[in-house]
A and B are shown apart, each in its own frame.
Chain A
Amino acid sequence: SAVISQKPSRDICQRGTSLTIQCQVDSQVTMMFWYRQQPGQSLTLIATANQGSEATYESGFVIDKFPISRPNLTFSTLTVSNMSPEDSSIYLCSVAGQLGNTIYFGEGSWLTVV
């Protein structure tokens, strides 16, 4: 399985600021995804991070609010822009294994917006 490192693991952010979360994988992977998990809820897909092209966003998520970069096959970033308390969540990076049918998760980035 892939080893996925996320930074920061936790942060407390001021309303109106932006924060960039980094995801580093120990091997090259084709597919990387970003999920959000609001308090007490399940995981919701934000977007698929595409290497060399714009991310593919799910309904309800837009690039201006959640810009994503994927400069290579081992790294991606998710920015949460102009944060409000409603953005307080765990943000999770995930990758698909070699055959594409097993998905692994990082430990998550826990953001609290005050």
Chain B
Amino acid sequence: GQQLNQSPQSMFIQEGEDVSMNCTSSSIFNTWLWYKQDPGEGPVLLIALYKAGELTSNGRLTAQFGITRKDSFLNISASIPSDVGIYFCAGQLAGNTPLVFGKGTRLSVIA
């Protein structure tokens, strides 16, 4: 089946630093989604991208849908301790179909 390659697997950064993570796929997706999962919680949607080339921001978060439709990145600027968690990318081939997930990026922020 389809798989997403998400990197890095984990990151340790200082508070205030910027963070970048990305996902690549061997096949095309028509929607890219980024989620954050805190311990003991379900994934929470951060940003949804629907068009190739689209660049979308949500506060300190910025995500882009790659032109080839096979990749996406998520940037977090000026990280803070509450950014700690696991970030997942997910691709959707068509509307009303299930998602394919990356393996996650575990972010640790050192105050």
Is residue B101 contacting chain A, with contact meaning CB distance below 8 A? yes
Q: What are some 6 contacts across the A-B interface (CB < 8 A)? A: A42-B101, A45-B99, A90-B42, A99-B95, A101-B48, A103-B99
Q: CB-CB < 8 A to A44: which residues of B?
A: 101
Q: Does A52 contact B (CB under 8 A)?
A: no
* B98 / chain A contacts, CB cutoff of 8 Å: 33, 45, 48, 94, 103
Chain B interface, number of residues (Cβ within 8 angstroms): 25
B96, A30: Cβ atoms closer than 8 Å = yes
Residues of B within 8 A of A48 (CB): 98
Considering the chains assembled together, what is the distance between the CA atoms of A44 and B104 in angstroms?
Answer: 12
* Residues B88 and A43 in contact, CB atoms below 8 Å apart: yes
Partner of B45, one of A1, A42, A45: A1
- Pick the 10 closest A-B CB pairs, nearest first: A100-B95, A100-B96, A105-B42, A108-B42, A107-B42, A42-B101, A101-B31, A43-B101, A31-B96, A42-B103
Decide if B96 touches A59 in the complex (CB within 8 Å): no
A106: B residues at CB distance < 8 A: 42
With most chain B CB atoms within 10 A of its CB, the pick from A44, A99, A105, A107 is A105
Cβ of A111 within 8 Å of any chain B Cβ, yes or no, is no
Asked if B33 and A42 sit within 8 Å, CB to CB, the answer is no
A102 within 8 A of B: yes
For A93, the closest partner residue in chain B by CB is B42
